[in-house]
Amino acid sequence: MLCTNLMSSTEESISELLKNDDGGPVCMVNLLKFKKKARYEDGRETSLTGPEAYQIYGEGVAKMVKTIGGSIVFSAVVNGLVVGEVEELWDAVAIAEYPSRQSFVDMISSAEWSELAIHRSAGLAGQLNISSKRLL
């Protein structure tokens, strides 16, 4: 199984996400891989680690998620793998629930999110973002 950490969605992946929108809640499972040292695209000097830069993003996004009626369901540092194999393990996992797929897309398309995403890009080496629906 090929697994590639990426930094952002594509027009195709967003289109596919919205194509299957039933109007109900959606959970986004985030598998996160951090840079050791944050690197800002504008070249600014920083003493932040990758996780510290991502935390700035995460705290701001958590407020945005709450404002649109969603919630951060779970977040944790990954400390091992019990089943399966990967070349490199992710550093953290987070699950956010949004009222709908459209509300998620609207949030990541906003100017406020774009301002926060500067810290996301500085801190992340890559991620998997998995759209999912609760079973229960």
Tens digits of per-residue pLDDT, 71-115? 999 999 999 989 988 888 899 999 999 999 999 999 999 999 999
Whether the predicted pLDDT of 7 surpasses 70: no
pLDDT tens-digit readout, 14-40: 787 788 788 899 999 999 999 999 999
CATH number of 22-132: 3.30.70.100
Backbone angles phi, psi at 91, to 5 degrees: -90, -30
Give the pLDDT of residue 49. Answer: 98
- The model carries a pTM of 0.87
CA-CA-CA-CA torsion for 123, 87, 85, 132, nearest 10 degrees? Answer: 40
DSSP state of 120: H
Give the pLDDT of residue 88. Answer: 85
Query: Domain locations in the chain?
Result: 22-132
